[in-house]
């Protein structure tokens, strides 16, 4: 009888463990962020661009404005952001010489580029645009091949202390699809054809620029002082 009781106990313990695993899996499936697709070629409404010129860093009184047209899934853009941009930020933006304007230019070859751009826009809603912007670029190798990149962006948002429910709702709404499209169309009108491309002093410079080269271009673009 003792042996039978022991075997029965083991059966119920195993059954309980299986049930707990099943419940855990169900909770995960319910709570995990669903895949998000941001539509392309949408009609741009006035509300999409009203009062918005791009994501801007730096002083309004800076002598030079630099516009960067970039794609979050572009490896060259990732290299510029992680290797060159820290020096640009310290030497040109923080010193008041440059006002930096980031514009989304998602390329068709990159299926997650618009999702990434939309995630950054949702980050702006919670005052965390530049922090999430940096994390998205840093983690490019991980989310780029993913079929559910939005889930990874949600985890990044949570790690930054953002309200994930609010973030996930923002993502599923695709509310910034028009803003992203407007940014792409602006770059196309200017002649942008690849990423990254920089607009400095009315001229376009495609390809990755070293921080030293950018500094030299900015110095040349600064208007001469009037006596």
Give the per-residue pLDDT at 3: 53
> Span 61-86, mean pLDDT?
97
Q: Are 171 and 160 in contact (CB under 8 A)?
A: no
Compute the distance between CA of residue 80 and CA of residue 87 in angstroms, rounded to an integer. Answer: 10
- What pLDDT digit, counting tens, does each position of 169-223 carry? 999 999 999 999 999 999 999 999 999 999 999 999 999 999 999 999 999 888 8
Compute the distance between CA of residue 227 and CA of residue 163 in angstroms, rounded to an integer. Answer: 53
Instruction: List the beta bridge partners of residue 44.
Output: none
pLDDT surpassing 60 at residue 49: yes
- What pLDDT digit, counting tens, does each position of 122-159 carry? 999 999 999 999 999 999 999 999 999 999 999 999 99
Chain mean pLDDT for the chain = 89
Give percent helix, percent strand, percent coil of the chain, each to the nearest 5: 55, 10, 35
Helix (H, G, I), strand (E, B) or coil at 167: helix
């Amino acid at each position: 009888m003792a042996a039978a009781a022991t075997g029965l106990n083991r059966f119920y313990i195993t059954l309980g463990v299986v049930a707990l695993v099943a419940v855990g899996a169900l909770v995960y499936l319910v709570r995990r962020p669903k895949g998000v697709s941001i539509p392309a070629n949408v009609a741009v409404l006035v509300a999409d661009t009203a009062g918005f010129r791009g994501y801007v860093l730096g002083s309004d009184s800076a002598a030079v404005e630099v516009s960067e047209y970039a794609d979050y899934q572009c490896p060259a853009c990732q290299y510029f952001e992680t290797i060159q941009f820290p020096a640009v930020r310290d030497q040109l933006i923080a010193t008041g010489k440059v006002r930096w304007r980031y514009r989304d230019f998602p390329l068709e070859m990159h299926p997650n580029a618009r999702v990434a751009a939309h995630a950054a826009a949702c980050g702006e809603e919670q005052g965390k645009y530049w922090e999430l912007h940096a994390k998205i670029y840093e983690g490019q190798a991980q989310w780029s091949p993913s079929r559910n990149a939005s889930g990874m962006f949600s985890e990044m948002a949570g790690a930054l202390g953002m309200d994930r429910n609010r973030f996930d709702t923002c993502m599923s709404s695709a509310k910034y699809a028009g803003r992203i499209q407007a940014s792409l169309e602006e770059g196309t009108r200017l002649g942008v054809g690849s990423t990254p491309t920089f607009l400095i002093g009315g001229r376009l410079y495609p390809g990755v620029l070293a921080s030293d080269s950018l500094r030299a271009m900015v110095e040349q673009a600064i208007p001469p002082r009037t006596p």
